[in-house]
Structure 1
Amino acid sequence: MRAAKAAGPARKTDYTNAAQQRLLQVVLALFGDTVQGMAPIVLARGVGCSAAVITRDLDNLRSAGLAERDEITGLWRLTPRLPQQAVKVFSSIERAQRQVDEARNRFTRNPN
Structure 2
Amino acid sequence: MAERTYDNASQQRGFALAFLLAGHELQGLSPSDIAKALKVNPPLITRDLHNLTQVGAVEKIETTGRYRLGPRLVRVALAHLAAMDEAEKQLAHIKNKYSRES
Normalising to structure 2: TM-score of the pair? 0.89
Deviates more, 1:92-101 or 1:63-72: 63-72
Runs of 5+ unmatched residues, structure 1 = 1-10
Matched residue, 1:15: 6
| Alpha-carbon distance between aligned partners in 1 of 2:41 and 2:3, rounded to the nearest angstrom | 32
**Corresponding residue of 1:75:** 66
For 1:41-52, list aligned pairs within 5 A: 41-52=32-43
Counterpart code for 1:51: P
* RMSD (CA atoms): 1.5
For 2:41 and 2:87, the matched residues in 1 are separated by 43
Q: CA deviation at 1:12?
A: 3.0
From 37, 52, 61, give the equivalent of 1:61.
52
Q: Which has the higher helix share?
A: 2
Unmatched 5+ residue regions in structure 2? none
Letter of the structure 2 residue corresponding to residue 81 of structure 1: R
Query: Alpha-carbon deviation of 1:32?
Result: 2.5
Q: Aligned pairs, how many?
A: 101
TM-score (norm 1): 0.82
Distance 2:39 2:23 in 1: 16
Per the TM alignment, residue 30 of structure 1 is displaced from its structure 2 partner at its CA by 1.4
The answer on 1:25 being equivalent to 2:16 is yes
For the pair 1:97 / 2:97, whether they are aligned, the reply is no
What is the DSSP-based 3-state SS (H/G/I as helix, E as strand, rest coil) of the residue aligned with 1:53? helix
Displacement of 1:109 after TM fit? 1.2
CA deviation map 1:53-73 (0-9, x unaligned) = 111111111122222211211
The answer to whether residue 40 in structure 2 is matched with residue 40 in structure 1 is no
State the percentage of identical aligned residues.
34
Instruction: Output the amino acid matched with 1:50.
Output: N
How far apart in 1 are the matches of 2:83 and 2:56? Answer: 24
